[in-house]
Structure 1
């Protein structure tokens, strides 16, 4: 027998390599398909597409977009003569307003009260004991301004106002799945405030937003309406939202019918330099504004892009649909002509690339006798290409009209919004219902013009508002012979500071901050920040969040009172916790019981206790069975006091 002979090969053995190769090929195909699916999903959710270059956050961007005929002084208002002049003008107008109403005024508020107002308005919490002790080390006449300037550069201010304006621009709901990123939009707004982007620039970026919602967070201003627009921006919702958010005018009722009750008047008011003629609003006013937003088209993986607008609508008395041209409801002379080509960024970039290619060709072929024009045509950059073939950027036209310096309604709406955030309630009526045919308060109108002159500087506006006598005045009448009864007329005339219930997030923020000696900010440990977030969210769910309509001053509910009396947050911040809580720290390290009570008042109510209050609680501590329990009880009482839950 020949042992060197190979064993016989069966048919099964021959098929084994082929089967193995087939399986590996199948795995490879499925693996490649899975990779493509995962890449596409990551592209949509994580922003893998190439981001468009950011525009510079320069002051020139706030002015260069306007034609020479609309030029205005945009020099940034400094802490010198300009601010002082505005402050003096507002002081005079305020006094004239008080005299005309024949009202007595409250005395100036103390520095702790004003600083608490600043903290509640700018970062949504009361002051920490650490902040108060630091301010006490400075001269009293410097404390308010020092605290304000510290808050204006605090990341908490950027984040808090980012959330406030997110609710204003896109609401409090989570919106459509996948195509809407509310958190990214809020973070983007926070970054805009941190970078001190002028407000007119910010608004133009929102209105002209394009790209993918993951790469360009401002695009979420549009994608929040995708659920009602069949995957496209809803022009109806965009028109209503834009008018309310940026102009402070409610024109929703004009969607279905002309105004026949005199609720919506259009025209050129005298306070904006117009002729004072008004007319009733029409359906055309609403839908011609909505037509601008049909220029924004969702192109799938390319995101939002500019296209030629086309808007069809059947008016109430019409028999068929008709095409509606983009137009604005008032001050139409400020709208740039549609015939002027306003090229999009993509168009300009394409032509720049074509010009560069043509230049390179001409240099390469120099001296060769080649026709440069032919090479330019080959590169797609023929000089014969008419500019009119490019789309007119209708959204840019609208954005430039809204933010035009002569459109004072734009600055009036924002000044009213900021005033409302600082005071806790709107000066008159609703914060987003400022009819054109109603003259604004002279103080607000002065601030509106000053805001324009400052280059739409948000921080400067906050400084001007908080420098007004209306913000620095007390909410209570003086004691003794000068006492008087405070009525609604006093608040309307700004003779006293309005007493307003804190919003849910302010109550939570103030309670959590009161339980910590040090300021809770980004420098705080990540564990404490996470705990703060969890406690705040749980409190908002139980206490009730007003959502987008957060300035409705409703009365407190039974549920809210029960949450404060017996809720988890109140229990956590008042209990004896030697590691975290203020009550334990001051209980262990206060020099005496009088200092202990003082520290508890400063941490919770941001004021010193009166002599009678101090004596009362010192006695409770000394006579109580347990010093720890007495301190916990004092904190619980302060957290549940009316003073804690109100801005005053």
Structure 2
């Protein structure tokens, strides 16, 4: 009876998650946009301006707005998005009890200024920058990159400086930005494709062998852009086994099966670039990248930040930025891009502006039919990354941290194995990417055994005699799904704890309830 009950509940929660997320992955209607009155594009109150862009489009399309999220929903969302982990129980209790009308703004500011923000951003950027199969092969190198990025976010390094560090990286190949090249074998073709996709939001690799079938990019465009990386080479240092990234002046790139030399040229620019004093082509490209004559750099960064917080970009997919016709709110994208440029590419300011909008703070719940996913009439639930899920369970249930300040080798190894098993690099945040094998591994894996054990952690702490059953159940909900239980949920959990017909000890039943919540749709999602 016990196993049957648990499996029935698990099947129900997985079906719920799949149903909730399926609406977000349906095809988008890309018909012509309605013309809306544009708000004044000043930067005195950019958060209000962003909301005016969104609301003007909703009004023009006669769409109803979802209500504001409640405090528990917002707190879970902003912690997961900005800190990479659900709120600790005590933080959540304090936030729910706080009656200050400015508490959401204060929480956003505090999280962005916290070390957790830097660590979470470093993890996200590492996943984006490295090829999908490289981290398993180059575990130590990816750690070096993640640590370099973490320090950059702690220092609030401007985004153009950060990208410039990658494009002009040299020296030891096992240090920070140089891994951008060594993970792609310092191949100009691979590096050019990655640079255009990551930092310009354009996928030009389809034009490598022939003109792009769906965009205006030609084969000449691809090879002229790749020529900026023609000087790349990896050399040994002083005859040792250590290697370094260097530029060899005079080294050229030729078209495939041809002796024709590819001359460097910026994407979308017909003129030949101004010569670099030292003839360093990567430096030449870096200077142009963040200049006002490049229409893609700021847009690409803004679109990625928007996709992080909302689950999809203003242009979606985020690497099709050359197709402005795909933008759901083109004026909004241009406004935020200009704001980002005016703030000298300050990512923290961009995150603050967007996170404080009414659009970001709307609920993801609705009792009626869901509006189009590109309307922002309500929030879209996002699937947690493997790191977000593991760190939440480790922090709130197992009560152990594995976020860089490693407390045990076994704990860190558990985290690595879990991330490798559960991460799906091809999935979007609006998709549930895990199959049966991953789900079974989740249900029966070592991390779940640790979470449901009673020796330590949450289960041991709520066994204290001054807790009653209602307080124990509330603590389980706060830990796993960041909210208090409904009266119906509380009653069902209480009935299970006190059902004498179930052949299990009381401690085992509490572990069962953790198992049910930790495997629920809510625990796997950011509302």
Following superposition of structure 1 onto structure 2, how do residues 192-207 of structure 1 map, counting pairs within 5 Å? 192-207=152-167
Aligned-residue offset at 1:105: 1.9
- Is structure 2 residue 168 aligned with structure 1 residue 292? no
Aligned residue for 2:338, secondary structure, equals: helix
TM-score by length of 2: 0.83
Following superposition of structure 1 onto structure 2, how do residues 99-498 of structure 1 map, counting pairs within 5 Å? 99-136=59-96, 138-174=98-134, 181-214=141-174, 216-226=175-185, 233-259=186-212, 261=213, 263-265=214-216, 281-301=217-237, 303-314=244-255, 320-331=258-269, 336-338=273-275, 341-342=276-277, 391-438=278-325, 440=327, 441=329, 442-477=331-366, 483-487=367-371, 489=372, 491-498=373-380
Counterpart of 1:588?
Answer: 464
Aligned-residue offset at 1:124: 2.5
Aligned-residue offset at 1:199: 0.2
Task: Provide closer, same or farther for how the CA distance between residues 608 and 170 of structure 1 changes in structure 2, counting only shifts above 3 A.
Answer: same
Counterpart of 1:21?
Answer: none
Aligned residue for 1:392, secondary structure, equals: coil
Q: Is this contact kept in 2: 1:243–1:249, CA < 8 A? A: yes
Aligned residue for 1:203, secondary structure, equals: helix
Task: Provide closer, same or farther for how the CA distance between residues 520 and 284 of structure 1 changes in structure 2, counting only shifts above 3 A.
Answer: closer
Distance 2:72 2:301 in 1: 28
1:547-596 Cα distance to aligned partner (Å, 9 max, x none)? 3666572554112322233232222112212xx32122123255422222
Q: Is this contact kept in 1: 2:452–2:459, CA < 8 A? A: yes
Distance 1:643 1:407 in 2: 42
Aligned residue for 1:469, secondary structure, equals: coil
Task: Provide closer, same or farther for how the CA distance between residues 82 and 139 of structure 1 changes in structure 2, counting only shifts above 3 A.
Answer: farther
Task: Provide closer, same or farther for how the CA distance between residues 534 and 178 of structure 1 changes in structure 2, counting only shifts above 3 A.
Answer: closer
Distance 1:401 1:222 in 2: 20
Q: Is this contact kept in 1: 2:384–2:429, CA < 8 A? A: no
Which segment is superposed worse, 501-510 or 597-606?
Answer: 501-510
Aligned-residue offset at 1:605: 0.5
- Is structure 2 residue 435 aligned with structure 1 residue 527? no
Q: Is this contact kept in 2: 1:128–1:519, CA < 8 A? A: no
Aligned residue for 1:588, secondary structure, equals: coil
Aligned-residue offset at 1:408: 3.5
Distance 1:195 1:627 in 2: 49
The one of 80, 90, 93 aligned to 2:50: 90
Task: Provide closer, same or farther for how the CA distance between residues 186 and 618 of structure 1 changes in structure 2, counting only shifts above 3 A.
Answer: same
Task: Provide closer, same or farther for how the CA distance between residues 394 and 554 of structure 1 changes in structure 2, counting only shifts above 3 A.
Answer: same
Aligned-residue offset at 1:242: 0.5
Counterpart of 1:575?
Answer: 453
Aligned residue for 2:237, secondary structure, equals: helix
Aligned-residue offset at 1:176: 11
Aligned-residue offset at 1:534: 2.5
Distance 2:491 2:232 in 1: 67
Task: Provide closer, same or farther for how the CA distance between residues 636 and 465 of structure 1 changes in structure 2, counting only shifts above 3 A.
Answer: same
Task: Provide closer, same or farther for how the CA distance between residues 456 and 178 of structure 1 changes in structure 2, counting only shifts above 3 A.
Answer: closer
Counterpart of 1:628?
Answer: 507
Distance 1:467 1:255 in 2: 42
Aligned-residue offset at 1:123: 3.1
Distance 1:633 1:173 in 2: 36
Aligned residue for 1:304, secondary structure, equals: strand
Q: Is this contact kept in 1: 2:188–2:232, CA < 8 A? A: no
Distance 1:100 1:553 in 2: 29
Q: Is this contact kept in 2: 1:312–1:321, CA < 8 A? A: no
Distance 1:628 1:164 in 2: 38
Structure 2: gaps (5+ residues): 1-40, 239-243
Larger gyration radius, structure 1 or structure 2 = 1
Aligned-residue offset at 1:500: 2.6
1:241-299 Cα distance to aligned partner (Å, 9 max, x none)? 1000100101111110123x3x122xxxxxxxxxxxxxxx2111000111110123333
Distance 1:309 1:398 in 2: 17
Aligned residue for 1:241, secondary structure, equals: helix
Structure 1: gaps (5+ residues): 1-80, 227-232, 266-280, 343-390, 478-482
- State the aligned residue count: 477
